[in-house]
Chain A
Amino acid sequence: MRYRYSPELEEFRHEVRCFIREKLPSSLARKTRRYEHLAKEDVQLWHSILAAHGWSASHWPKEYGGPGWSPVERYLFDEECALADAPPLSPFGLALVGPVIYTFGSDSQRQHYLPKIRNGQHWWCQGYSEPDAGSDLVALKTKAVLEGSEYIITGQKTWSTDAHLADYMICLARTRGEGKPQASLSLFIIDMQAEGVTVRPIETIDHGHSVNEVFLDGVRVPASALVGEENQGWTYAKFLLGNERTHNAQVQRSRRDWQLLCDMLKQLRCGAGCLIDEPSFGRAIAELDVLLIALEASVKRVLEDQVRGREPGTEASILKLEGSELQQAITNLAVRALEEVSGPLSFDLITEHIGLEGPCADYAAGVAERHLFRRSVSIYAGANEIQKNIIAKSVLGM
């Protein structure tokens, strides 16, 4: 099933598709299907290809170097990238920091940071969470004290994705001791090379390394590293989290995973036929499609609202909730399929042994890793229980 757009939009989609077909190296597409965590060089390569065409900052307005696409065009662009197995770009600079800087930052910050986010030269990480401030982010303890023309920042961040690869961190820190805790936070840009910054890796259960602890020990940053106004950090951070939750629906990537899983079920042999002929698998893949169609429809509703100038509010929570559960449901079924034909999972599945070939074989080889790491999609970007609290409180008035 395929949703039909207006002729202009279908034309746009076609243009994007042709571009990707011509420019995306097939080795990169293979790696994207296979690996949950891609190497920085791989992501950067694709980033620079897009940047050269003016398409890297696909969500940015024209004045800051974006292509100036409508929300629906952006959606289609992301969908084409996902369906072609293009590497997802690092979201921190493009989707999170960029919008904060062009919305709340100073002119000099815009001039200095935006171009290098756009062309992929600078890699960013997000320093919000702390050991004692996860769901209760407002409880964070990292302090920034103004001393002359510098802030001195001290504290510990954790779970910082890509901090080991990043040039800068966008860091939420406390700038005064009294008052409402929300009204005493500020947002800073920290150079990861600065003295006093130490990054320690956290190994995850898929044996991957993407998250880190970051120790900030009296790190000195110039006053100009403050984003927007002092003590307004919470407002900015919430703006950023809203973006993050829409992004985290990951519906286009899930659609692609679903296609690859479908192919897997058609190739894996079971008795006289293949796995998809087996009623429990046939139904399960159809059920996933039901959830996907519903989520795609919800995402489209949000996009249409955006076209009418209404920014997403609590709908972002719906998308995050359903999107993350769908991502997990897809790998659950992939795991069931592999268990059925080849027994216990291994990180080194040899897909020829189970008769898989083509793109879905790359996907299958990464299922164990992906399935394990995907336990985290219902935890990060505001855990699902927290999203439910938000819906109950601010939508349902309970």
Chain B
Amino acid sequence: MLDQDSLDLLFDSIKRFLQERYGFADYQRISDSELGWSQEMWQEFVSMGWLGLTVPEEDGGLGATAAQCLDLFEHAGGALVLEPLLPTLLIAGEVVRTVRHATTRKMLANGVIGGDVRMSLVPRQVEAVCTCSVIANGDGFHLKGRFPAVLGGANATHFVVSAQLGDEFAMFLVPKANTGVEVEPVRLIDGRWGATLNIDSIMEAEALLPIDARGGQRLEDLVAAGCVAEAAGVLKRALNTSIEYLKLRKQFGQPLSSLQVVQHAMAEVYVVSEQMRSLVKAVSEGLEGPDSTYLVSAAKAYLGIAGYRAVEKCIQFHGGMGITEEYPIGHYYKRLLVLGAACGSASGHLQRMAFRIRSETR
């Protein structure tokens, strides 16, 4: 496993790179481009070794844990990075680790490190509108399902899909290239590409990953933790942008930042932004523990309640500027809304927490 010092060094370079090369203007240019993300930028990420972060060392990666990578997502969130780091980076390592077939494993590991394999996780959270069935078919399986709003879905080369196989939980790695895998790209409000996935496909036996229900839950927790970390970065940047703006903007002969209502509002946003960062830390420390799912739910719910409200306040105090596409603050809000809803919304997570609390006291 990578030692913390080398990791810190890498994160410093990532932070610097994003500061220099991924400013708001770069984000806007990339977002407005036809593709909606930048392949050149992606290649830069690859050449700096980011994509191999979680790939095991024996497969040529850096072997970092997902928890160790959350810092990266804070930086990426703050910069509003549009490239599909989020699902891939967090789950690729775990998935590669489980693949038994040596050639497949090598191909996947190299692909991830080189940026050509991008994985997306289909969360079970959206079960209300997911339909999914799987049956054994000779040596392989017949997977059938519809999955809306899959984060990173439009750019993914592989989908990690969970399904019920008889009474058993099953998880499949479905290559996009398989016949019967249909990807309908959906542009999310933050400019990133998700997808609705239609699968009606016969898959080989090796598509079934040796991941049990707990392992499946863990993958979802990882992606949700990534969302929370990105959100913490977004919140911090939203706060800083607002403070800068409020110090410059004058009405009634004084800077808005000198008004007490404004000061209090920004103090509240600061509190939320710091709480969010604390939650990221708690999540990253708890990811290997028994309560990781519960903790991730708490952080996700906090994001969907306090986080949204905080950036709404920032918009309010920008006045008209807050609702223009030209200013960053609205983009932070849209990114936050997407992060809040991906891998389960606040109300979904609260329900699950309530369920767990009930079952414990009994």
A: residues with CB less than 8 A from B are 129, 132, 134-136, 139, 158-159, 202-205, 207, 211, 268-271, 278, 280-281, 335-336, 339-348, 350, 353-355, 368, 372-373, 375-376, 378-380, 383-385
Known interface pairs A204-B325, A205-B330, A280-B350. Does A353 touch B187 (Cβ–Cβ under 8 Å)?
no
Are B128 and A271 in contact, CB atoms less than 8 angstroms apart?
yes
Question: With a CB–CB cut-off of 8 A, which chain A residues contact B338?
Answer: 344-345
* Extra pairs beyond A204-B324, A344-B342 (17, CB < 8 Å): A135-B251, A136-B251, A203-B326, A205-B323, A339-B340, A340-B347, A341-B126, A342-B149, A343-B123, A343-B149, A343-B194, A343-B345, A345-B341, A346-B149, A346-B187, A346-B194, A353-B129
Distance of A205 Cα from B350 Cα, bound (Å): 29
Q: Give the most central of A129, A343, A355, A378: most B CB within 10 Å.
A: A343
CB-CB nearest 4 A-B residue pairs: A343-B149, A205-B330, A339-B345, A339-B341
Q: Is B188 an interface residue (CB 8 A)?
A: yes
Are A158 and B149 in contact, CB atoms less than 8 angstroms apart?
no
Q: Is B333 an interface residue (CB 8 A)?
A: yes
B: residues with CB less than 8 A from A are 123, 125-126, 128-129, 146, 148-151, 186-190, 194, 196, 250-253, 261, 304, 312, 315-316, 319-320, 322-326, 330-331, 333-334, 337-338, 340-342, 345-348, 350-351
From B186, B188, B194, B323, give the contact of A379 (CB < 8 A): B323
Distance of A152 Cα from B133 Cα, bound (Å): 73
Question: With a CB–CB cut-off of 8 A, which chain B residues contact A350?
Answer: 196
Distance of A346 Cα from B326 Cα, bound (Å): 20
Are B188 and A336 in contact, CB atoms less than 8 angstroms apart?
no
Q: Give the most central of A139, A158, A376: most B CB within 10 Å.
A: A376
**B147's closest neighbor in chain A, by CB?**
A343
CB distance from B58 to the nearest CB of A (A): 35
From B150, B151, B187, give the contact of A347 (CB < 8 A): B187
From A134, A346, A355, give the contact of B188 (CB < 8 A): A346
**A274's closest neighbor in chain B, by CB?**
B128
Known interface pairs A134-B319, A375-B316. Does A346 touch B186 (Cβ–Cβ under 8 Å)?
yes
Are B125 and A134 in contact, CB atoms less than 8 angstroms apart?
no
Are B194 and A375 in contact, CB atoms less than 8 angstroms apart?
no
CB distance from A389 to the nearest CB of B (A): 9
Question: With a CB–CB cut-off of 8 A, which chain A residues contact B333?
Answer: 205, 372, 375
Are A207 and B325 in contact, CB atoms less than 8 angstroms apart?
yes
Are A379 and B316 in contact, CB atoms less than 8 angstroms apart?
yes
Distance of A172 Cα from B146 Cα, bound (Å): 56
**A337's closest neighbor in chain B, by CB?**
B347
Question: With a CB–CB cut-off of 8 A, which chain B residues contact A347?
Answer: 187, 189
Are B320 and A159 in contact, CB atoms less than 8 angstroms apart?
yes
Question: With a CB–CB cut-off of 8 A, which chain B residues contact A158?
Answer: 320
Between-chain CB contacts (< 8 Å), 16 pairs: A136-B252, A139-B252, A202-B326, A204-B325, A205-B325, A339-B341, A340-B128, A341-B126, A342-B149, A343-B345, A345-B188, A346-B149, A346-B186, A375-B330, A378-B316, A385-B261
CB distance from A372 to the nearest CB of B (A): 7
From A135, A341, A346, give the contact of B129 (CB < 8 A): A341
CB distance from A346 to the nearest CB of B (A): 5
Are A135 and B252 in contact, CB atoms less than 8 angstroms apart?
yes
Are B252 and A129 in contact, CB atoms less than 8 angstroms apart?
no
CB distance from A334 to the nearest CB of B (A): 12
From A203, A339, A341, A383, give the contact of B319 (CB < 8 A): A383
From A270, A346, A368, A378, give the contact of B128 (CB < 8 A): A270
Known interface pairs A203-B324, A375-B322. Does A343 touch B347 (Cβ–Cβ under 8 Å)?
no
Question: With a CB–CB cut-off of 8 A, which chain B residues contact A136?
Answer: 251-253
Distance of A302 Cα from B34 Cα, bound (Å): 52
Question: With a CB–CB cut-off of 8 A, which chain A residues contact B253?
Answer: 136
Distance of A207 Cα from B253 Cα, bound (Å): 33
Are B341 and A344 in contact, CB atoms less than 8 angstroms apart?
yes
Are A379 and B129 in contact, CB atoms less than 8 angstroms apart?
no
Question: With a CB–CB cut-off of 8 A, which chain A residues contact B315?
Answer: 375
Question: With a CB–CB cut-off of 8 A, which chain A residues contact B190?
Answer: 344
**B259's closest neighbor in chain A, by CB?**
A385
Are A343 and B342 in contact, CB atoms less than 8 angstroms apart?
yes
Are B128 and A341 in contact, CB atoms less than 8 angstroms apart?
yes
Are B316 and A353 in contact, CB atoms less than 8 angstroms apart?
no
Are A375 and B323 in contact, CB atoms less than 8 angstroms apart?
yes
Known interface pairs A134-B319, A204-B325, A205-B330. Does A344 touch B125 (Cβ–Cβ under 8 Å)?
no
Question: With a CB–CB cut-off of 8 A, which chain A residues contact B188?
Answer: 344-346
**A368's closest neighbor in chain B, by CB?**
B189
Distance of A134 Cα from B322 Cα, bound (Å): 13
From A129, A135, A342, A384, give the contact of B148 (CB < 8 A): A342
**B196's closest neighbor in chain A, by CB?**
A353
**A350's closest neighbor in chain B, by CB?**
B196
**A388's closest neighbor in chain B, by CB?**
B261
CB distance from A11 to the nearest CB of B (A): 43
CB distance from A349 to the nearest CB of B (A): 8
Distance of A268 Cα from B341 Cα, bound (Å): 16
Distance of A384 Cα from B129 Cα, bound (Å): 39
CB distance from A162 to the nearest CB of B (A): 15
**A369's closest neighbor in chain B, by CB?**
B189
Known interface pairs A342-B126, A343-B125. Does A336 touch B345 (Cβ–Cβ under 8 Å)?
yes
Distance of A344 Cα from B334 Cα, bound (Å): 10
Distance of A368 Cα from B330 Cα, bound (Å): 13
CB distance from B82 to the nearest CB of A (A): 14
Question: With a CB–CB cut-off of 8 A, which chain B residues contact A269?
Answer: 128-129
CB distance from A35 to the nearest CB of B (A): 16
CB distance from B346 to the nearest CB of A (A): 7
Question: With a CB–CB cut-off of 8 A, which chain B residues contact A354?
Answer: 128-129, 148
CB distance from B170 to the nearest CB of A (A): 22
Are B324 and A372 in contact, CB atoms less than 8 angstroms apart?
no
**B312's closest neighbor in chain A, by CB?**
A375
Are A335 and B129 in contact, CB atoms less than 8 angstroms apart?
no
CB distance from B146 to the nearest CB of A (A): 8
CB distance from A157 to the nearest CB of B (A): 12
Known interface pairs A340-B345, A346-B149. Does A373 touch B323 (Cβ–Cβ under 8 Å)?
yes
Distance of A335 Cα from B330 Cα, bound (Å): 16
**B308's closest neighbor in chain A, by CB?**
A332
Q: Give the most central of A159, A339, A348, A355: most B CB within 10 Å.
A: A339
Distance of A281 Cα from B194 Cα, bound (Å): 26
Distance of A139 Cα from B345 Cα, bound (Å): 44
CB distance from A324 to the nearest CB of B (A): 11
